[in-house]
Amino acid sequence: MLRKFILRILKPKFLFRYIVKSKAKSCKGKLSVNGFSTVSNNTYLGYNVNFNGMKITGKGRCAIGDNFHSGTNCQILTDYHNYDCGSKIPYDNTFVVRDVTIEDNVWLGNNVIVLPGVKIGEGAVIQAGSVVVKDIPALSVAGGHPAKVFKMRDIEHYNKLKEQKLFF
């Protein structure tokens, strides 16, 4: 009942932004949250971050650079169950914690999952439905399960737009 009342008074995107800003460790500013999103308390957000339904979980550090965009239903994980050295099978209640770094000007398509320990380089684009299990170099276009680089962006065009500060 209270939730319905709050949603009627506040527009959902303002509420979604409040939820993310109040939980994140830091946010440089200009945060747009257009779909329900949650972050861990060890999340660092750059300037002009755009979530359209993001879930960041785990005890590891998640650092997202400036001008980041996500599609709907994306996930970033910063820890996983310890299945190798745990005390039970298939896993126990211990975790392996690994940080995730996403550099400036990265775009994740819909339903992308980023696993612990990954670094996505500046200007990379990750295709919808991909699972990122290892580092993706700067200016790459990657996709699949596991995500693999299949194309590079035009570096001259990218640098020209960046120099002119033409960010969406």
- Side-chain-side CA neighbours of 54 within 13 Å: the count stands at 31
Please work out, in degrees rounded to the nearest 5, the angle formed at the alpha carbon of residue 87 by the alpha carbons of 82 and 93.
Answer: 50
CB of 39 closer than 8 Å to CB of 23: yes
Q: How far is CA 64 from CA 31, 41, 43, in A?
A: 12, 13, 8
Alpha carbon 2 to chain centroid distance? 30
Q: Which of 69, 81, 145, 157 is catalytic?
A: 81
CB of 101 closer than 8 Å to CB of 120: yes
Q: Which amino acid appears at position 100 of this protein? A: V
Strands (DSSP E) found in 43-139: 43-51, 54-57, 62-64, 69-70, 74-77, 79-81, 95-97, 100-102, 107-108, 113-114, 119-120, 125-126, 131-132
Catalytic residue list contains 81: yes
Q: Which residues are catalytic?
A: 81
